[in-house]
Amino acid sequence: MTTPLLVKICGLRTTDAIDVAIDAGADAIGFVHAAGSPRTVDVETARALVEHVAGRATTVLVIKGLDPEAAALAAQDAGVDVLQVHGYDRARTERAIELLPRVWRATSPGGDLDSWGEELLLIDSPRAGSGERWDLRSLLEHRPTGPWLLAGGLDPENVSRAIRDARPAGVDVSSGVESAPGVKDLARIERFVANARSAG
């Protein structure tokens, strides 16, 4: 029996975008808590958005630039289901896993694709959130050892092909469903989920 493809829509900041993503069939909703990102929200806002999700999808707090203790505290305060860490080495990832039951780790194609104990590995472009595409052929030489999500440069137009080529456990999109940095395009969210589902 095949595991259904996981579809995550990331960088959401409004209840309208959340509702559209969930109604379209997204499995996970991501909230960014990272200084300098056009999609960042504070912990209080993230908590209000998690309350709006109300268990209809898995909620993920995406962090960068915080140590494991501060990241775990932010995730607990926001009330999310999962902490997603960016830029962590193995020691910090393992520390986050000690602190929280569910941790996803993001890395780039040139990073360590072996499992460090995280629930899911997310393979993103070297500049996360940039929308830059990367060469999927690198995965043919060394595929991750555990379940993983494909991210980086995905959009409604290319997600079906990317899923067929890379065969990930799921996909994650942020800038590919925006009309401007940090501004989600509701129609693009719907098309992304539909096209991902048609391929997965």
Q: What is the pTM of this model?
A: 0.93
Q: Which two tokens stand for residue 26?
A: 């997204």
> Which range among 1-5, 121-125, 143-147 has the greatest average pLDDT?
121-125
Cα–Cα distance between 74 and 88 in angstroms, integer?
A: 16
Residue closest to 61 by CA, chosen among 110, 123, 8? 8
Q: Quote the percentage of the chain above a pLDDT of 90.
A: 78
What fold characterizes domain 23-199? TIM Barrel (3.20.20)
The alpha helices in 133-185, defined as continuous H runs, are: 138-141, 159-166
3-class secondary structure, 132: coil
Mean pLDDT estimate for the chain: 91
Residue whose pair of structure tokens reads 């989600």 in the numeric block? 184
Domain boundaries, the chain: 23-199
> Does the pLDDT value for residue 194 go beyond 50?
yes
- Rounded CA separation 189/193 (Å): 6
Q: What is the pLDDT of residues 35-47, one digit of tens each?
A: 999 999 999 999 9
Residue pair 193/25 in contact (Cβ under 8 Å)? The answer is yes
Task: Pick the more confident residue, 96 or 114.
Answer: 96
